[in-house]
Amino acid sequence: MMLYTHSPEVAAALDAGRAVVALESTIITHGMPWPRNLETARQVEQAVREAGAVPATIAVLEGQLHIGLTDTELEWLARATHVAKLSRADMAVCMAEGGTGATTVAATMIAAELAGIEVFATGGIGGVHKGAETSFDISADLQELAATRVSVVAAGAKAILDLPKTLEVLETLGVPVIAYGQDALPAFWSRDSGLKAPLRMDSPEQIARAHRMRARLDLPGGQLIANPIPQAAEIPLAELAPIIAQATADAEALGITGKAVTPFLLQRIFDLTGGASLEANVALVLNNARLGASIALALTALKAAPVPS
Ligand code: PSU
Ligand code: MN
């Protein structure tokens, strides 16, 4: 059995040297409720296509790593209820045992690099959780950004995380955190976290050149592109802060730990905002898919041009 299979659309795109954007599947299985998860997954794929690139949603189905899902597979995954959430630690076990799992940012990056896909768009990355000084809850996504050469477009880190600590860890790991088109680090549902991003870029071409430069320097690891949610869709941080505090306190009271923490908090915030957090989430993922496609196109344009030495 091949280590991974491509959907027909992705196979044709890679053969033709077209721009491809990787998409994760944990957001479908653990990040959004049915049927909005399927609608969003389809809209995100369509947004990538409309921007001129090809989407590759990644997941493990019955032991097989899929780079690109057919619409039937996408719908099956969106309806499934007992799908594992796979990160670097559990991906190989799932595949070896013939299991089915959705890929997080970390696992999607691993799969994308394997398949030669350089850009990946998602909603938010995992990071350092509040209270990490006692819980040690730091997402494997951060180490993956340090290890795997994929540029990840996200709407910053989720405001359920400790953002200053997340930035510190990314700096320690040597991960460039690049705010797109503004100075402030965006905070997922909000455009401004109140923190300045370490780096800023204003065009997909700049981001593509920096991505290439890392490879020429033989630096492992990718880039985190922090793309602010569109203004019309944002929920200001002041409005969300008490809700996030409530959700975090609930998680602690219920003794939620490990990989259950992020899905629990997202669900709780969805309930406490009366569904408004989901609307914002959908808008920011679509926005990231479009930027991811532009970066992937800029990278293919660079490939075509001779690299100056
Ligand atoms: N963004 C969302 N919803 C999600 C996630 C991101 O809007 O469910 C997922 C991503 O797959 C990310 C994961 O990699 O949450 C982080 O989980 P953890 O904190 O357990 O590492
Ligand atoms: Mn965690």
Does the C-beta of 228 come closer than 6 Å to ligand 1? no
Please give the distance, rounded to the nearest whole angstrom, from the Cα atom of residue 258 to the centre of ligand 2: 5
Residue 48 lies in a domain: yes
Please give the distance, rounded to the nearest whole angstrom, from the Cα atom of residue 136 to the centre of ligand 2: 8
User: Which residue has a Cα nearest atom 3 of ligand 1?
Assistant: 31
Instruction: Please give the structure tokens belonging to residue 215.
Output: 């490879």
Q: Please spell the DSSP secondary structure of 16-33, one letter per residue.
A: TT--EEEE-SHIIIIIS-
- Does the structure show a pLDDT above 80 at 251? yes
Residue 309 lies in a domain: no
Number of neighbouring beta carbons within 10 Å of residue 212: 16
Residue 39 lies in a domain: yes
- Of the listed ligands, the closest to the CA of 265 is 1
CATH number assigned to the domain comprising residue 106: 3.40.1790.10
Question: pLDDT, tens digit, for every residue of 32-91?
Answer: 999 999 999 999 999 999 999 999 999 999 999 999 999 999 999 999 999 999 999 999
Question: pLDDT, tens digit, for every residue of 182-234?
Answer: 999 999 999 999 999 999 999 999 999 999 999 999 999 999 999 999 999 99
- Count Cα atoms within 13 angstroms, Cβ side, for 245: 6
Q: 248-256 — which CB contacts under 8 Å span 24+ positions?
A: 248/130, 248/131, 248/160, 252/131
Q: What is the mean pLDDT of residues 264-274?
A: 94
- Does the structure show a pLDDT above 60 at 309? no
Average pLDDT over the chain, rounded to whole? 95
Region of residue 32 (left: phi > 0; alpha: psi -120 to 50; beta: else)? beta
**φ, ψ dihedrals at 55, nearest 5°:** -85, 145
Residue 47 lies in a domain: yes
- Does the structure show a pLDDT above 60 at 93? yes
- Does the structure show a pLDDT above 90 at 280? yes
Please give the distance, rounded to the nearest whole angstrom, from the Cα atom of residue 262 to the centre of ligand 1: 6
Number of separate domains in the chain: 1
Instruction: Please give the structure tokens belonging to residue 193.
Output: 């976290």
What's at 217, amino acid-wise? L
Question: pLDDT, tens digit, for every residue of 131-165?
Answer: 999 999 999 999 999 999 999 999 988 878 999 99
Residue to probe by mutation, ligand 1, list 105, 163, 166, 248, most atoms within 8 Å of CB? 105
Question: pLDDT, tens digit, for every residue of 178-188?
Answer: 999 999 999 99
Please give the distance, rounded to the nearest whole angstrom, from the Cα atom of residue 10 to the centre of ligand 2: 31
Residue 37 lies in a domain: yes
Does the C-beta of 91 come closer than 6 Å to ligand 1? no
Q: How far is CA 228 from CA 18, 79, 118, 120, 281, in A?
A: 27, 30, 21, 16, 12
Structure confidence at residue 102 as a pLDDT band (50, 70, 90): very high
What's at 54, amino acid-wise? V
Structure confidence at residue 271 as a pLDDT band (50, 70, 90): very high
**Residue-number span of the structural domain to which 122 is assigned:** 4-304
Residue 103 lies in a domain: yes
Which residues are known to be catalytic?
Answer: 24, 158
Cβ proximity of 145 and 125 under 8 Å: yes
Ligand 1 atom closest to Cα of residue 188: 7
Q: What pLDDT was estimated at residue 193?
A: 94
Q: What pLDDT was estimated at residue 29?
A: 96
- Whose structure tokens read 């653990």? 30
- Does the structure show a pLDDT above 80 at 304? no
Q: Report every protein residue that has its C-beta within 5 angstroms of ion ligand 2.
A: 137
- Whose structure tokens read 């990787």? 22
Does the C-beta of 31 come closer than 6 Å to ligand 1? yes
